[in-house]
Structures are given as structure tokens and as C-alpha cells.
Amino acid sequence: MKIISGGVCAAKGFTAGGIHCGIRKNRTKRDIALIYSEVKANAAAVYTTNLVKGAPLTVTKKHIADGKAQAVICNSGNANTCNADGVEIAEKMSALIADELKISADDIVVASTGVIGQPLNIEPIAKGIPALAASLSEDGSDMAAEGIMTTDTVKKEIAVEFEIGGKICRIGGIAKGSGMIHPDMATMLVFITTDAAISSQMLQKALSADITETFNMISVDGDTSTNDMVTVLANGMAGNEEITAEGEDYTAFMKALNTVNVYLCKSIAGDGEGATKMLECTVKGADSSATAKTVAKSIICSSLLKAAMFGADANWGRVLCAIGYSKADVDVTKVDVTFRSPKGEITVCQNGAGVAFSEEKAKEILLEKEIEIAVSVGDGEYSATAWGCDLTYDYVKINGDYRT
């Protein structure tokens, strides 16, 4: 398996594009994106567990109930959530692009991201549909990635090439997410495409399993979004024998999917609103997978720990504190903590107690842009990884006037 270029257009038969249609006031930013498969694809999705859900999620869930989709349309700048006519607008978006592409509206994944509770005007979208369709290109992943951004500062896309049954397959994805990141299924918006042949049932199984190790393990600010959704389209154009059960081929697909998802997770965590550092917490030695995940997520979610990382302060007590209130079944007298970065590593806690260490060396390590918080909680066989970012002054500035 190797990383390749192309994003969501790397797989055979997929094109993408994006334009500025007028949803956002800033004309220099694309605000609507499109992904298209030249043949109908098998589809799978996971959605936010927030009781308040964006209308596009309701519509998408209905559209892909048969496990099929052929296109994705997504706007930024307005979440189309908590609007009386939200479902109507989402259905209209689907119908408009379906007519332009000459496909069924029931085969459209529709998504929106941005401000909650403001009506979404269909007029700029309707006027922009011809140009949006015309923007479709085999090199269009970059445009689509830009079109779904809100407070993101960087585009998030990746693709990998792998082999199934002697056939070369590709899988790629784009994502958006910077704030309101604390998923309970996936995160913000992620769109993945692959030319591997895999049944809708196995595609859903693969996605649902992988998010427990990836998107469910990131947090920027503890807020679960109303519009979180991850979708995968598999059009089968690689020509491999369709994956319909677990086995060697399914394992190869899962490995490729996980590679894409981990990369997008880290990209989202590192681009947290106002963030200056990406944090990765690895926990080992747990007596169960659930314990390892609980500990890792509790540490990465700690506002005090995140603030300490912003200040390059090796305040390891905040790690222990987060473990203590996580309700995970661990023996705190067996906890070890080490901070790592490209500048080296330093152990700050052993067996639940502090050890002598150089504050100067610790600061040098913690001033890097990527930091690992390595935690051992015993001699169990289970481990987990979670991703997040530091908490900075700019997070408050960004969210203090996000709507206005």
C-alpha cells in the first residue's frame, strides 16, 4: 500500500469540483462542492448521535437506504439545521444536481456545514448548479476539499493505492473539521471514494467498525456537531471480485480504509480552531479495549491538559487527573507518563508518582507542533490512540463571533 495523489478523484470513475455560488459573502472562497461517480456506487454512512441533526442527514439517510449513491453535494457557510424548511431545501439541492447530472435524486448524498439556525437560501445554489457540474474534473479533489471548509485553515485530503485479488484498487478522501469536534460516531464531514468492489453490507460493516478506532477517538473542544457525517462510495471499477464476506480481501480493504481515516483524523485534530499543536495520546497496558479508549479520550479532552500543552508546560498531574475522573478501571499506582516529540522524549511520571526531570528539556520537547502523550496503565494487552489539539486564546476569539 502506498500514498498517492488525487484525493477523492484517485479512484477510477470519480470526478469532483467546487465553486463559489454565493452562500458565503467572501467571493474568494468556494462554498459548494460536488463528487460524482460515472457509475452507481455502493454506499455506506455513519451519522452524528446528537439528537439535534441537520436536515441533510435525514435526507441522505433516506436516499442511501438502498445502499446506493452516485454523487455527493455539500455546501459550506450554512448548516441547514434547525430550519423549518430544512428537509425541503436538502431535497431541492438533490433534485437540482440530479437533473443536471441526469441521475436519480435518490442517489444523491447531500450535506451542509456552517452556521446553525439560519435559513439556507436555495437561489444561489440553483443558479450555481450548472457551473458546479461543469467544474467536475479528475483533478477536482482540491476544489471540492476547499468547498466544504468553514473555519478550517488547511484542506484535508489523502489517497492510497492497494491490491485486492491481484487488482490495483484506490481509496481517497476529503474532510472538513476544525471546531465543534467531539464525535460520537464520526466527525464533521468526511467523504471517501474507492474503486474497490465491496458490497453495501460489508462497506457499512467496515466503516462502522473503523470509526470506533479513528473518528470516535478525536476531540478538539468537546462539542458534538449536529451535522457530523462520514460517507463512503465504492463503485467497483477496479475490477476485483466483490467483497461479500470477511477474509483476506476484506482485511486488505480495512487496512486501506483505516490508513485514510487515521490521516484525516490527525489532519482535523491538528487544524483545531486556534490550535498550534496536534496532540496524540497513546495508551497501552489496559485490561480491555474500552478501558484504553476511555483513558486516551479523557486525557485528550482535558481542557487543563490542552492549555498546558499550549504553554509547553509538562504538567503531568493533569494527565493523572484526567485518568482519575475518566471512571476507567485502572490502578493509578501503575501509571507511567512520557512526553515525546521530534525533539526527543522525557518520562515525567512512574507508578503514579512524579520523577525528577529537566524542565528545560521538557519545554523543548513540548514546543514542537506534534506531541505524543504516551501513557502506560499496567501490563494488559490492550491499547488505544486518541487525537486532539492544544487550547489557545484564538479558540475563544474564533467562537466569540462565529455567527456575526
For residues 372 and 342, what is the distance between their CA atoms, to the nearest angstrom?
10
Buried b / exposed e over 148-162, threshold 16 CB at 10 Å, is bbbbbeebbbbbbbb
Distance separating alpha carbons of residues 390 and 376, to the nearest angstrom: 22
Task: Give the H or E element holding residue 389.
Answer: strand 382-389
DSSP 231-289: EEEE--TT-PPPB-SSSHHHHHHHHHHHHHHHHHHHHHHHT-TT-S-EEEEEEEEESSH
Question: Residues of 28-60 as b/e, b for ≥16 C-beta within 10 angstroms?
Answer: ebbbbbbbbbeebbbbbbbbbebeebbbbbbbb
Set 60, 113, 187, 392: catalytic member? 187
Q: Cβ(205)–Cβ(165) under 8 Å?
A: no
d(CA 225, CA 50): 7
Which residue carries 496524540 as its cell? Answer: 280
CB 231 within 8 Å of CB 203: no
Is residue 193 part of the annotated active site? The answer reads: no
Residues designated catalytic? 187
